[in-house]
Amino acid sequence: MNHLPNFSDSLKQLIASPSISSTQPSWDQGNNDVIQLLATWFEQIGFEITIQNVPETRNKFNLLAKLGSGTGGLLLAGHSDTVPFDENRWQSDPHIVVDKKDRFYGLGTCDMKGFFAFILQACKNLSANQLKKPLYILATADEETTMAGARFFAQQQLIKPDVAIIGEPTSLVPVIMHKGHMSHRIKVKGQSGHSSKPSLGINAIEIMYQVIGCLIDLKDKLALNFVNNSFDVTAPTLNLGAIQGGDNANRICGHCQLDIDMRALPGMTDAELINLLSESLKPLAEKYPNRISFDELHPSSPSFEQKQNSELVSLAEEISGHSCCAVNYATEAPYIQQLGCQTIVLGPGSINQAHQPDEFLAHSEISKTEEILAKMIQTYCL
Ligand SMILES: [Zn+2]
């Protein structure tokens, strides 16, 4: 006796349980309703459920569901949250699934609560004693802001699957690479004073001018020394994003700050890039002791690369009918990979619809997604 919803009913319920993540407290919501729905459904079909309260979040949760026992196996992973929405630009209520023009419209249909609706159908007829290796489902918290859920899950090292598939909307193209992302604030401390007496002050803007010179040299050096042709933009990038300093034309500027963003190529660690930044500023830091410093603005997210010559990539290419590729957006893949598994990003829906009004999941992707999930479960668990 079970009351498991069918695909479209489970999709409706997931979308009707808002789980918006935002750095703005007025938008930020918990994800407990989504986690409880998933826990109820997967428990009903025999999965063991673990729910983690994720530290450094506003009371949000990760869910891990496990069927079968032993080592290795398959992890199907995704995030339980969505981005905020722009109400006036949606044709319908973002939390109510509208099925029209062969599409399911709703916030999170493609990015990416819809993936869990597919997983549920793929798992409903499985039983633990059929499985040779375990099947895990992971739903994380706060992917859209800090990736705190995936970061915490990786630290815990609770499981060690053979392979992991993250069902972000890739239009069912296997993604094996993306850049990392980090942002820093560089601060220059000067000494203010009357503009008529330059020798009595230290002008922070003038020092920042030299800092910018070093950063532009670093940018050129990155472009020369690091190349990966899998990306549209083949080099690591460094962007000067925002600058603030001083208060008045007749005062020597006492403080200036500059926010920058850097995107590492796969194979490059965050530490390596930060080191290059630090090295490039070193001559100036020596020239102006204790006046130049930099700090992280947000937690960084690492770059990701799954080696192309792996069994998982070959299989994913074969079933999906698409060659693997690199993308420009960041995902939880580098954290999931820290579990020690082959990891790819592969899921229904297009990134062009993610984070947009009238987000949708096309009916045309349903059968292919079902086929991919069935084949992956069969290969790695049965
Ligand atoms: Zn996503």
Q: Which residues pair with 244 in a beta bridge?
A: 257
3-class SS of residue 121: helix
Question: In this structure, what token pair is assigned to residue 365?
Answer: 């992707």
Asked if 371 and 187 touch (Cβ cutoff 8 Å), the reply is no
3-class SS of residue 288: coil
In angstroms, the Cα distances linking 268 to 226, 239, 298 are 9, 18, 19
Q: Which of 9, 48, 56, 81 is catalytic?
A: 81
54 vs 146: CA distance, rounded Å: 12
227 vs 148: CA distance, rounded Å: 30
323 vs 68: CA distance, rounded Å: 32
pLDDT in tens, the chain (382 residues): 458 999 999 999 999 999 999 989 999 999 999 999 999 999 999 999 999 999 999 999 999 999 999 999 999 999 999 999 998 999 999 999 999 999 999 999 999 999 999 999 999 999 999 999 999 999 999 999 999 999 999 999 999 999 999 999 999 999 999 999 999 999 999 999 999 999 999 999 999 999 999 999 999 999 999 999 999 999 999 999 999 999 999 999 999 999 999 999 999 988 999 999 999 999 999 999 999 999 999 888 899 999 999 999 999 999 999 999 999 899 999 999 999 999 999 999 999 999 999 999 999 999 999 999 999 999 999 9
Instruction: Specify the pLDDT at position 298.
Output: 84
> 330: CA distance to ligand 1 center in Å?
9
Is 232 a residue of the active site? no
**Residue type at position 195:** S
How many Cβ atoms sit within 10 Å of the Cβ of residue 272? 13
> 45: CA distance to ligand 1 center in Å?
26
124 vs 106: CA distance, rounded Å: 24
In angstroms, the Cα distances linking 177 to 195, 230, 299, 306, 319 are 52, 8, 20, 7, 19
> 64: CA distance to ligand 1 center in Å?
18
**Three state DSSP letters for 226-261:** CCCCCCCCCCCEEEEEEEEECCCCCECCCEEEEEEE
Q: Which of 143, 317, 359, 365 is catalytic?
A: 143
Interior/surface letters 363-375, b for 16+ CB within 10 angstroms, e for the rest: eebbeebeebbeb
Reported pTM: 0.91
> 210: CA distance to ligand 1 center in Å?
39
Instruction: Specify the pLDDT at position 2.
Output: 59
Is 143 a residue of the active site? yes
Asked if 369 and 104 touch (Cβ cutoff 8 Å), the reply is no
Instruction: Specify the pLDDT at position 3.
Output: 81
φ, ψ at 34 (rounded to 5°): -65, -45
Q: Which residues pair with 327 in a beta bridge?
A: 178
CA 61 to chain centre: 16
Instruction: Specify the pLDDT at position 87.
Output: 87
